[in-house]
Amino acid sequence: MGRGHPECPERLDAIHDHLLATGLNAILEQREAPLVDLAEVALAHSSNYVNELKDLLDQVAASGESRALDPDTIAGPGTWRAAQRAAGAAVAATDAVIDGDVDNAFCSVRPPGHHATRDETMGFCFFNNVAIAARHALDVRGLERVAIVDFDVHHGNGTEDIVAGDERILMVSFFQDPLYPYSGGVPKGANMVNLPIPPYTRSGEIRDMIEAQWMPRLEAFKPQMVFISAGFDAHREDELGQLSLVEADYEWITRRVKDVADRHARGRIVSCLEGGYALSALGRSVAAHLRVLADV
Ligand SMILES: [Zn+2]
């Protein structure tokens, strides 16, 4: 994204370093992310979008120079390959979990995806990794119902744009409001559970809202698989938002989501990294998330 941009390569280093320092990496099975098949991407994005983005990012790669697609979203020479690998990780993780090869999976990837709409790049996002993986589970792997849980501090407008009205998907989220991208106050479909949260809301209140508004809908929906847009920028130390979650809150949210997956979905969860820009807090929060997913 360029020098000084919060969506930086050091984010993944911070996660990896913390997993090394805590010994968690020795417990987890790690796999490299494959490149996505563009036919999979077209399950969530229009073919025109995929073709035009490929042409544009190929030009950027050939020129060797970065180009701003909007004031927040900068494409560099490695962006096309990175976007293919991030989406490829989500699809490969979905296959591995459905095949019973692994119990669940976390995709430590960038660029993130949840602001990418069916037809537009936005907010550091190019391919909507979670929406692609969810559609893969439904359209390619034959599941009938999947849930998407988004706990990034920003509204997952791209995912909402893609899945609103698709009754095979239930999406539950919370997000700070007002905050970029200034949407989500009015859900775009009956399959969306949006919880706008005022700045400086205490984490206990957020837990109460999750309990009261996410959990009954998730229980009633009985998802066969759960996808998580795991953004950690609602953390107290993260300066992109004004919420005050800490590691214990991410542990609690993950536990509640895992309870649903264990009851209805044979524990099947694929979680994909979205935001999280305070590097130390990101490493610690991902570790808290993974300890619950891995039962350690
Ligand atoms: Zn975010």
For the chain, what is the radius of gyration of the CA atoms? 17
Residue 78's CB is within 10 A of a number of other CB atoms, namely 14
How many angstroms does the Cα of residue 7 sit away from the middle of ligand 1?
10
Task: Of 58, 12, 7, give the one whose Cα is nearest residue 32.
Answer: 12
Cα angle, residue 101 at apex, residues 97 and 107 outer, rounded to 5°? 50
Q: Tell whether pTM > 0.85.
A: yes
How many angstroms does the Cα of residue 154 sit away from the middle of ligand 1?
4
How many angstroms does the Cα of residue 151 sit away from the middle of ligand 1?
9
- Does the pLDDT of residue 2 top 90, yes or no? no
| Segment holding 38, helix H or strand E | helix 38-41
Write down the catalytic residue from 18, 115, 155, 289.
Answer: 115
**Rounded Cα distance, 95 and 98, in Å:** 5
Residue 115 annotated to the active site = yes
What torsion do the CA atoms of 196, 147, 135, 31 make, to the nearest 10 degrees? 100
How many angstroms does the Cα of residue 174 sit away from the middle of ligand 1?
11
Predicted local confidence at residue 3, as pLDDT: 87
Predicted local confidence at residue 57, as pLDDT: 97
Query: How confident is the model over 219-277, as pLDDT tens digits?
Result: 999 999 999 999 999 999 999 999 999 999 999 999 999 999 999 999 999 999 999 99
